[in-house]
Amino acid sequence: MAPRVAPRPSPIHRLCVRILLVSFLAAHRLVPSCSASFFGFPAAAKRHDYRDALAKSILFFEGQRSGRLPPGQRASWRGDSGVSDGAAARVDLEGGYYDAGDNVKFGFPMAFTTTMLAWSVIEFGDDMPRDERRHAAGAVRWATDYLLKTLAHPGVIFLQVGDPWKDHDCWERPEDMDTERTVYNVSAGRPGSDIAAETAAALAAASMVFRDDDPEYAETLLASARKAFEFADTYKGAYSDDPDLRAGGCPFYCDFNGYQDELLWGAAWLRRASKDDTFLQYIQNNGKTLGAEDSSNEFGWDNKHAGLNVLVSKEFIEGEVLPLQSYKEFADSFVCTLIPESSSPHITYTPGGMLYKPGGSNMQHVTAISFLLLTYAKYLSRSSHTVNCGDISVGPVTLQRQAKKQVDYLLGDNPMKMSYMIGYGDRYPQRIHHRGSSLPSIKDHPQRIACKEGTPYYNSSGPNPNPLIGAVVGGPGEDDAYEDDRADFRKSEPTTYINAPLVGVLAFLVGNPHPGHIRH
């Protein structure tokens, strides 16, 4: 005889039982409250405070400052540093930013950082609260004041301050550094079209940031951008092809991709900032010879192709400049590689949903590509254009949501349940690969900490004593795992070029927290 089976409770019956059970437990203080997830319903996605994240992402740059700090310095654990930079060459190169967790001022990534900070303000500054836009413009100006100094002497452009090999042999605060502040430059006989053209892009873009509030400064920036571009186009070559410059810049910031993309990038920014048809003609006449057809889904301090395509496509989308149609086609191809449903070859995503490229410091790809998605969505929204990815047509909202998903992952919606921005959320990395953050502040420990005296702090398993608020670390690997290990610089080191495009992305999300339309 078969055993009797009790009738299966209906869903309503099961729900009522759960409600009674939760009420009983809550009355006896055995649970704090009932929740949707307790009932078997999916918990609502966490709502992120994009305004808080934006403020912190901008504050980060104050922790990276070199030179004499201003009275309004908010990252108060920092002190003056590098005040005699340039003395080895009898020039003034005080100021600028340390690019990452070391104490070298690398000009190539600093110029790219400046371009992206400025582009963030240009595209999404209207979504920033007034104070944050002011701080963002201040972050741009701290860089441009320095970049102007690198162009101040005829015949040369200063590229870098600090011997990276000797710097990396020490673990010391920037306020204490006593390693050689070697000065590197490019010239007619030792060309650097890449650094010169990226500097031109940075100054041209920044001129748009200051056009209304400080027109005289904006004009200075634009004039200097023209000067830097003329140098780049006249003396063609990559700075890392020179043996001496290669020894200083490689393997840290070699120009692996060549200088051609920077020439087009610099011309594109000068065209946008000046409206000068000369630069439009330059792009049209030199696009093929400079590799504009080398469509690429790369974008960062070395490879500008995807960003160039998005930037120049604006001329075609909004201005109907027909000779530039190919740039939109290349931008479309880039976008299609990011859409999982498209038939194009895809960029890899981790199991947790993070865009992933091999090589370390992956968050630089997450933030830069998210910025391009939102910027391209903005351009598309002003026209009837869409993106054709084979069997599917992709519009602005899809691009917005794709970017938002990446930023939400960065802020904590990931398998580790960890924010990768220092100071944001309840759980974030504590042991980042950063000298100033990991050593006692000069304000708390005025005594000098010499080169090798910092090693115990580097090896310590304790948290960094000075949280570098707003810094975004390199992030997890392809398995979504993050070990919070100071020695694992590929994952735990922050960089300025991770944060710079993120400023724009977060500004957009402040104004549009629920993508579904783009505000004009």
How distant is the alpha carbon of residue 148 from its chain centre?
22
The reply to whether 110 falls in a domain is yes
- Tokens representing residue 334 in the block: 């880039």
Q: How many residues belong to the chain?
A: 520
The reply to whether 3 falls in a domain is no
Whole-model pTM above 0.85?
yes
The reply to whether 330 falls in a domain is yes
Q: How many CA atoms lie within 13 A of 153 on its CB side?
A: 15
The reply to whether 9 falls in a domain is no
Collapse the DSSP code of 372 into the 3-class scheme (helix H, G, I; strand E, B; otherwise coil) and give the result: helix
The reply to whether 16 falls in a domain is no
The reply to whether 12 falls in a domain is no
For residue 197, give the H/E element and its range: helix 193-209
First to last CA, the chain: 74
Q: What is the largest CA-CA distance in the chain?
A: 102
Q: According to the model, what pLDDT value does residue 244 have?
A: 84
Question: Which residues belong to the active site?
Answer: 433, 484, 493
For residue 17, give the H/E element and its range: helix 11-27
Q: According to the model, what pLDDT value does residue 428 have?
A: 98
The reply to whether 43 falls in a domain is no
Question: SS3 helix, strand, coil % of the chain, rounded to 5?
Answer: 50, 5, 45
* Number of helices (H), then strands (E), in the chain: 18, 7
How many domains does one find in the chain? 1
Give me the tens of pLDDT residue by residue for the chain, a chain 520 residues long: 333 333 334 433 333 334 333 343 333 333 333 333 322 323 345 689 999 999 999 999 999 999 999 999 999 999 999 999 999 999 999 999 999 999 999 999 999 999 999 999 999 999 999 999 999 999 999 999 999 999 999 999 999 999 999 999 999 999 999 999 999 999 999 999 999 999 999 999 999 999 999 999 999 999 999 999 999 999 999 999 998 888 888 889 988 889 999 999 999 999 999 999 999 999 999 988 777 766 677 899 999 999 999 999 999 998 888 899 999 999 999 999 998 888 777 789 999 999 999 988 999 999 999 999 999 999 999 888 889 998 889 999 999 999 999 999 999 999 999 999 999 999 999 999 999 999 999 999 999 999 999 999 999 999 999 999 999 999 999 999 999 999 999 999 999 999 999 999 999 999 998 886 444 4
Cβ(55)–Cβ(149) below 8 Å: no
How distant is the alpha carbon of residue 344 from its chain centre?
26
Q: According to the model, what pLDDT value does residue 289 have?
A: 77
Amino acid in the structure at residue 510: V
Q: Given CA atoms 123, 124, 125, 127 in this order, what sign does their dihedral have?
A: positive
Q: According to the model, what pLDDT value does residue 104 have?
A: 97
Question: In 235-295, which residue ranges form alpha helices assigned H by DSSP?
Answer: 243-249, 260-274, 277-286
Q: According to the model, what pLDDT value does residue 294 have?
A: 66
What is the span of the domain harbouring residue 259? Answer: 50-512
Q: What is the 3-state secondary structure (H, E, C) of 452-503?
A: HHHHHHHHCCCCCCCCCCCCECCCCCCCCCCCCCCCCHHHHCCCHHHHHHHH
The reply to whether 11 falls in a domain is no
CA separation for the pair 140, 214 (Å, rounded):
13
Among candidate residues 413, 428, 418, the one with its CA nearest the CA of residue 467: 428
Q: 42 — alpha (psi -120 to 50), left (phi > 0) or beta?
A: beta
Q: According to the model, what pLDDT value does residue 514 have?
A: 85
Q: According to the model, what pLDDT value does residue 12 have?
A: 39
Sequence-distant (6+) residues with CB within 8 A of 214 are none
> What's 202's domain CATH number?
1.50.10.10
Cβ(113)–Cβ(99) below 8 Å: yes
- Tokens representing residue 415 in the block: 């398998």
CA separation for the pair 367, 136 (Å, rounded):
17
